[in-house]
Structure 1
Amino acid sequence: MKGILGFISFTFIFGGLQGIVHEAFGKWIPLMGFMKHLYVDGYEIYISIALIILGIAVGTAVQKAPKEQ
């Protein structure tokens, strides 16, 4: 379970960074192009920041979770 949540955390953080890069430079990073479907016109920066915060929260929860036996 930790592996799946770690991947989700990475996806959220990378997707948020991708949105910020897109807003700054106008270019999508081809590695995770499917993330561009999450963004609503006019709210890209807010959604990007929310994705980064959500990714950090999930990553913190994964680290604090007890080890599986």
Structure 2
Amino acid sequence: MKQLLEVVGFLALVQGVAGLVHEFTDLRWGLVQKLGFFDGYEIYASVALLVLSVALFAAAESRKPG
């Protein structure tokens, strides 16, 4: 379970960073831009993904190994 939380946290971190990079540099990659219901809220969604990744990493660290 710890590894699953870490993998999902890493994916959320990458997508959050990708969303912020897209908003500030126009590089076209990441999942947040491809989902239509985030139109106008891409920055908020990206920041929420970053917060989610921190929470997932914290939850993974609180778990016992194995």
With the length of structure 2 as denominator, give the TM-score of the two structures.
0.84
Give the unaligned 5+ runs of structure 1: none
Q: Deviations over 1:19-54 (max 9, x none)?
A: 00000011124xxx4x23346110010000000000
Q: When the two structures are aligned, how many residues end up with a matched partner?
A: 64
- Name the counterpart of 2:26: 26
Give the unaligned 5+ runs of structure 2: none
SS at match of 2:40: coil
SS at match of 1:42: coil
With the length of structure 1 as denominator, give the TM-score of the two structures.
0.81
Identify the match of residue 48 of structure 1 among 42, 46, 49: 46
Q: Percent identity?
A: 36
